[in-house]
Amino acid sequence: MITESAPVRRILMTLAFGFVGLFLIVPLVTVFGGALQGGFPLFIKNIRDPYTRAAILLTLQTAAVVVPLNLLFGVTAAWAIAKFDFFGKRTLMTLIDLPFTVSPIVSGLIFVLLFGAQGIFGPWLMRHDIKIIFAVPGIILATIFITFPYVARELIPLMQAQGNDQEEAALTLGSGGWRTFFLVTLPNIRWGLVYGVILLNARAMGEFGAVSVVSGHIRGLTNTIPLHVEILYNEYNLVGAFSVASILAFLAIATLVTKMLIKWKTRQEMILEEAS
């Protein structure tokens, strides 16, 4: 009943829709519109281009390494932080958040300083003929750094909200540590975990700045999908750029839809729980 007058409401709605339309819907429409500008066959041709396929393959490889590692870290860190109270916890959480605020360019640069030709381990790596910078390992390292906090960030508040009661009950019933984790903790956090992994995957596949610094942009070898988009765009191949970009845009939309479904699902479960 207590609300703004109708004209004010209309103005606020218009401003909100305008803002969302301008900044969110226009870019999405531009990507998909641009991809299909030359018709569907051209789109398919662009996707099946050998360089595009190489970029997709490299991106998948990167994600295949990054996602499990950061997932393992995220779950472990969340367990330590959410389930125990210890000195230095706040500091630890701040440090985990670090990669969120560090510029991707700076993130890329620090790995160049470590492993690049002029870097600290550069001469040693050169002698042993190991290539990290301007090669796949560099891309993977930079991506791990950038996507480091996502799973932990998603799980910590969730696990804190759940409390320790259920785990403690399981322990008193004679369940071991691992068993308790897999049978009690994991089912409770499964939706948050799913979303965390999906977001982690989307960010890992889409990272541009940091990867751009360490990759060397060698077509067919060290080009991930976003880097390939950049190259196509800079060659004025707009349709090609948008076609490849639409793969990533699609991945982003799938991520958002998953988040919405999970939100809906958890609310549903909460209602059921309250009803019983």
- Within residues 80-109, the interface with other proteins by CB under 8 A covers 80-81, 83-88, 90, 92, 94-106, 109
Measured from the CB atom, the residue of 136 and 200 that comes closer to other proteins is: 200
Burial label, 63 (beta-carbon count in 10 A; 0-12, 13-18, 19+): buried
- Contact flag: residue 158 with other proteins (CB under 8 A): no
Distances (CA, A) of 108 to 56, 113, 116, 171: 21, 9, 11, 44
CA-CA-CA-CA torsion for 207, 214, 71, 192, nearest 10 degrees?
-20
DSSP letter at 120 equals: S
Rounded to a whole number of angstroms, the minimum distance from the CB of residue 230 to other proteins is 6
Rounded to a whole number of angstroms, the minimum distance from the CB of residue 172 to other proteins is 8
Binding track over 36-65 against other proteins, x by CB under 8 A:
------------------------------
Candidates 52, 62, 215, 255: give the one binding other proteins (CB under 8 A): 255
- Contact flag: residue 171 with other proteins (CB under 8 A): yes
Residue 225, number of CB atoms within 10 A of its CB = 24
- Which helix (H) or strand (E) element contains residue 218? none
Q: Roughly how many angstroms between the first and final C-alpha of the chain, as a whole number?
A: 32
For 88, the token pair is: 């230095």
Separation of alpha carbons 103 and 154, rounded Å? 21
- Contact flag: residue 229 with other proteins (CB under 8 A): yes
- Contact flag: residue 218 with other proteins (CB under 8 A): no
Candidates 19, 161, 187, 271: give the one binding other proteins (CB under 8 A): 19
Q: How many residues bind other proteins (CB under 8 A)?
A: 102
- Contact flag: residue 240 with other proteins (CB under 8 A): no
- Contact flag: residue 270 with other proteins (CB under 8 A): no
- Contact flag: residue 120 with other proteins (CB under 8 A): yes
